[in-house]
Copies of this chain bind each other. A is one copy, B any other.
Amino acid sequence: MKALFDLNEWKIIEHNFDSSKQEAAESIFSIGNGAFGQRANFEEKYSGKSLKGSYVGGIYYPDKTKVGWWKNGYPKYFAKVLNSCNWIGINIEVNEQQLDLAICQVDSFYRELDMYRGILTRKFVCSFNDGKKIEVESVRFCSMDDDEIGAISYSITPVNFSGQVKFTPYLDFNVRNKDSNHNEMFWEERVKKAYDNKGVVCASTKITNFQVAVAMHYSFQKNHDEVNIKADKIEKELYVSNCFEINLEKGSKYTLFKYVSILSNLSDSELSLTDLAILKVNEAKKYGFKKLLCNHEQSWQKIWENADVIIEGDLKAQQAIRFNIFQLYQTYTGKNPKLNIGPKGFTGEKYGGATYWDTEAYCLPFYLKTAPRKVARQLLLYRYQQLDKAIENAEKLGFSAGAALYPMVTMNGEECHNEWEITFEEIHRNGAIAYAIYNYVKHTNDIPFLKEYGREVLIAIARFWSQRVNWSEQKNKFVILGVTGPNEYENNVNNNWYTNYIAKWCLSYALEVDTQILINYKSLLRKGEKQKWQKIISNIYLPKIEGTNIFLQNDNFLDKELIPAASLPEIELPLNQHWSWDRILRSVYIKQADVLQGLYFFESDFDLNTISENVNYYEPFTVHESSLSPCVHSILFSLIKDEKKAYEMYLRTARLDLDDYNNEVSEGLHITSMAGTWLSIVEGFAGVRVKYNELRLNPILPKNWKSYSFNIVHNNQRVYFKVHKKGVSIANNGNDDLVIYLNKKRQLIPSNNQKEILC
């Protein structure tokens, strides 16, 4: 694989400007703070190929559905994260020549993303047509400390001349989504005003009527001294700017500090949104760039304290895991209950929507182990708030009596995807949402949550499954017909083992919660439900290959030509770019873990031998053309101690974006699968298994690694682990003693033990 950027343990570095890589770099160097985010577009004008992207979490537009052949039940809209105000813009003109790296000669170029500090820096020297040369340095961040603030320091040094330079810092809402179905403009102007050294634009979205107010304020320095400037105020539709021309002296450094506040009526009253934005930006400017940056860095430090993974002896792996952790926390911090984790985060538009089952299946376990429990709880509450909509959604598909089907893709709880084989049939997602509740409770023992929120969701989901099964006279079993399992390379199949298994599990767990865990509270079950569900639990069909321990992916799977993926010609890969859909569907090739996803979720239901047999049966047919595939495989290979395959799978997931495996990073990063990378280390290599009051470790050490270390939040305490050749060192940073099972042997780790104990 091509390494696009330099290897460095904390940084992503680019040393040359290559316009053909610019869109990919814009994704890789994206920054964000959980509330808003920004692709690494240039501040100054850039006329080359670029995907401009500025996104504000939770602000979406219901784009009119585009579909060739309408099917009953399709939603009319597809909710899309909106491309929002360009807040980074600073146009520069030297001698009436626009600074534009697509046109100027670039003499040197350096771009760096410092993941430890959360800062994007760019330095370059370029020459204009008339020979004038300038050096530019820009530094920017989206404040992790105050998630309504972004700041830019933009410096220019004239290298070989003194003369007039024009600066135009601006805010511009004239942006469209590249993925708009009908190329519509989604924004309408509400307020705009240019002041001295300041400006504000407030715009609202059509239909959804969200309001976003963005204000800017700036100061200007020569070397380190404040310079007063007098700027023209320019107002256009959805746009404000200040424009000033200033005489620069050769060799001196001039810096424009641009402070920006980004507010929306998700959190603030729309009545005073514009005023609040101005207030906020005034404050930011008063603090100044340094102080803001310092606060920002401290916030990142705190995140890293919990979430960092240190790998010794494998720089590629080290950089990759940090990149993944960094991007996850840029995307979601758990502060706002209306937000979730979109598959591309704030790094691109593709896929629209914000919430897929990725959140529950992959991201939640990451936050459960790296962040305070309220973060994971927030993710669960998000779904609780959307329960009514999930019930409505199920009603549209013919279900009744409080059965809930959560959408495949959503923003506000309504389904917004429209492929029947996915929207209507990939119903296992419902199971992942129930499983996330189970997983959260397993980690936290948060029974009040279960009582107040979790149970309702679990029962509504169980009701769905109880209606979705049907009795097969032929099989003398309950069956589930017409589904798409996690392997989207089969559609509309019958008795997908994973789906049937999770359906059964959902019914069991809902019953367990209602009738055992919450036995002291009034049951929410209706008459007859318990009996009906028990009957299904006892009689659901779970296909298996006769004479083996191998669970059958679906009915008819064995009718396929069972030729391993290894024999596929290189030139036909990835299949989804080379084969027609029907050929993919009738082939044996698996896009992502399907039976294995079930073994991962329900590991404790199966013996190691069974897991091993299934992994070794299905993996050879798997083409891993979903970013969510290799991580589950890596974890299972670790579990069955196949270190070589576990490491191979880890590499596939860890550097997916950095090395642009699928040649698509220009569209944005695979945010949700990044959590899987972290899980590959912690649940995979380290074999961490958590139950409330119980933490187990069963580690392996990849061959070429000297060691790896990480923290786990366990019972609200931080525990540190370092796996190395001599064993495992453990440090307990909490106030309580901890019992840890290491390779099944119980160990006591005393409280407040910062010192590592070698076990």
**Which A residues form the contact surface with B (CB < 8 A)?**
65-69, 71-73, 396-398, 418-421, 424-425, 470-475, 479, 481-482, 491-492, 494-495, 555-556, 558-562, 576-586
Contacts and interface: CB of A to CB of B under 8 A. Distances in A.
A614 to B, nearest CB: 18
A68 B67 contact: yes
Given A418-B68, A492-B492, A470 B581 contact: no
Contacts of A475: 559
B420 A582 contact: yes
A69 B418 CA distance: 8
A415 to B, nearest CB: 11
- Which of A69, A420, A586 has most B Cβ within 10 Å? A586
Contact of A581 (B68, B424, B556, B583): B424
Contacts of A65: 68
- Which of A419, A425, A482, A562 has most B Cβ within 10 Å? A482
A559 B494 contact: yes
Contacts of A559: 470, 472, 474-475, 479, 481, 494-495, 555
A118 B584 CA distance: 51
Contacts of A472: 558-560
Contacts of A492: 421, 491-492, 585
A481 B583 CA distance: 10
B471 A582 contact: no
Given A560-B481, A561-B470, A561-B471, A72 B586 contact: no
B71 A581 contact: yes
27 contacts: A65-B68, A66-B68, A67-B68, A69-B419, A71-B580, A72-B577, A72-B580, A72-B581, A73-B581, A73-B582, A398-B579, A420-B581, A424-B582, A425-B582, A470-B561, A470-B586, A472-B559, A473-B558, A475-B559, A481-B560, A482-B582, A482-B585, A491-B492, A492-B492, A495-B559, A555-B555, A556-B556
A424 B578 CA distance: 15
Contacts of A555: 555-556, 559
A582 B419 CA distance: 11
Contact of A481 (B397, B474, B482, B586): B586
A418 B560 CA distance: 25
Contacts of A494: 556, 559
Contact of A583 (B398, B421, B586): B398
Given A559-B474, A559-B494, A585-B492, A73 B398 contact: no
Contacts of A420: 581-582
Contacts of A425: 582
B580 A398 contact: yes
Contacts of A424: 580-582
A560 B472 CA distance: 6
A582 B72 CA distance: 9
